[in-house]
Amino acid sequence: MLLYASILLLSLTPIAMWMVRLIRPRFVYHWLIALGGALAAWPLTLLAGMDLPQTLPLVTWQPESLFPQSPVLVADMYSWPFAVALATLVLAVILTDVARLSEADWSNWAGSLLMGSFGLLGVMAGNLLTLLLIWMAIDFLELALLFTQVSDSSTRERVVIAFSARVLGSVLMIAAILSAGPTNEPLGSGLLPPRVILLLLLASGLRLGVFPLHLPFLREPPLRRSLGTMIWLVPPAATLILIVRTAVVIENSASPPLWTPFLLAFSGLAAFFAASSWLFASDELEGRPAWILAFASFVLASALRAQPEAALAWGVAALLSGGLIFLYWPRHRQLRWLGLLGALGISGLPFLPTWAGTMLFTPPLYPVALLFLLAHVLLLIGYVRHALRETPLLNEVEPWVWFVYPLGLVLLPLSQLAFGWITRLALDQVPLVAWVEGALATGLAIFVSIWRSRKEPYEDLRPGHLSQVFSVEWLYRALWWIYRLISRWVDFLTDVLEGEGGILWGVLWVALLVSLFLLGTGY
């Protein structure tokens, strides 16, 4: 019931804000309402972890012969960390917005709360049908929120392209559901045929930009930090949980599928390309798509290697460390330690949050493991680079802002450190490579960061045409050109048939069809 209450609070608070807006248009305390909803939902989500696992049926469809599956939520050791990360992210967004007066708008807070509630539903989906329905709801909510933020036609075109990619992912999910057949087993339990596992991974990879390799939106649209961060992180969270649960299924399988090395190779290329894009991005907002793509590749690779704990560690790090760097603006020298905490959250050092993620590098090592190691180093260097960038300081703000703003930021690394401690206790044994990889990646990142601090800016190392080599933007542009060509032909035929000679053209088409039919039958 605590999870029910948390989701209801995040869903009903935006409605309350909207009603207050209608009744009292000059009301200026919407932030307090948003803070109240987020602050009440956060501890409820935390306390729900004291009684795991939990199964929460949403509705029971009848008859069972027609509807073998009904929407249900499951809170367990895999979904609960994602839920806590999302609840913490929502609270951090509301708290840190006090330092960004340009984004102080009730609609942004309402959208963030609503996005958080949909995200909680997504990460706790108990079966494939529930997850599919929530994916569709999140996609339409994201589309509506983006259309309220962007107005130029070129950006809206990219939004529609990204929405279409996610819809194709949902189509693959439908194919997986049909291939799996009617079942009442929870998501991630039991065994699935290799073809179903492949469809699930392809659906997830398509939604996250890994298969085929592409950056969502092709470029970063002009989104705000608060609502933009929720839009960028919540939909991937609802997809990453599926990959983590698929890792559990692969772990329980007798042998790895034959296509595992090929998907690992694709994931390694995607991770290296995304980490390079993250490092050379002009700022962390421009690098948001690359951040998601890099960690999605790490999660997919961990799942392919049947390592659900590693996949879970990388997925939670993408949300919490990513949320910290995206919300960490404006920056103050006295708060630089917050950025370093976020870097430690993805370092892979022993007893830190992503220590379990270094299981990805355990034997047997694939040759592609070197790509993941390089990607890890590049992600760390880029994180430090973006975290230490100078920004305008806060001027003429109330003293309480200097308490609330850092409080919202510090919640993210503290939650991640707590998760890392719990994950550490869950590991039965830690191989030597888990000690070495994190230290090696962190050491290389520190060395390169110090060396580059004495050189010219990073722009002189920009990888040139790397994005043109790896990206498949040309494919999307080609498909878009074909679509426009077909639409022109349809418009031409419509104009011809609707004109004065439309009836004659219709008679001619009928005569041609009849002639072809007669020729085919031999008359």
Q: What is the DSSP string of 476-522?
A: HHHHHHHHHHHHHHHHHHHHHHHSTTHHHHHHHHHHHHHHHHHHHHT
CA–CA dist 236, 315 (Å, integer) = 9
- The pLDDT value recorded for residue 489 is 63
Alpha helices, H only, 24-152: 30-47, 79-96, 106-123, 128-149
pTM equals 0.84
Structure tokens at 178: 């049909």
Q: What is the mean pLDDT of residues 297-302?
A: 93
Most confident of 219-228, 310-319, 426-435, 475-484: 310-319
Mean pLDDT score across all residues of the chain: 80
Q: What is the pLDDT of residues 65-115, one digit of tens each?
A: 666 677 888 888 899 999 999 999 999 999 998 888 766 788 889 999 999
Is the distance from CB of 165 to CB of 236 less than 8 angstroms? Answer: no
Asked whether residue 483 carries a pLDDT value surpassing 60, the answer given is no
Is the distance from CB of 296 to CB of 238 less than 8 angstroms? Answer: no
- The pLDDT value recorded for residue 465 is 46
- The pLDDT value recorded for residue 498 is 56
Q: Which of 81, 87, 119, 86 is nearest to 356 (CA)?
A: 81
Count Cβ atoms within 10 A of the Cβ of residue 56 and give its class: 0-12 exposed, 13-18 middle, 19 or more buried: middle
- The pLDDT value recorded for residue 122 is 92
End-to-end Cα, the chain, rounded Å: 74
C-alpha distances in Å from residue 471, one per residue of 262, 270, 273, 434: 18, 9, 9, 32
Q: What is the mean pLDDT of residues 396-411?
A: 85
C-alpha distances in Å from residue 219, one per residue of 159, 161, 461: 10, 12, 20
Q: At CA 369, angle to CA 368 and CA 374, rounded to 5?
A: 100
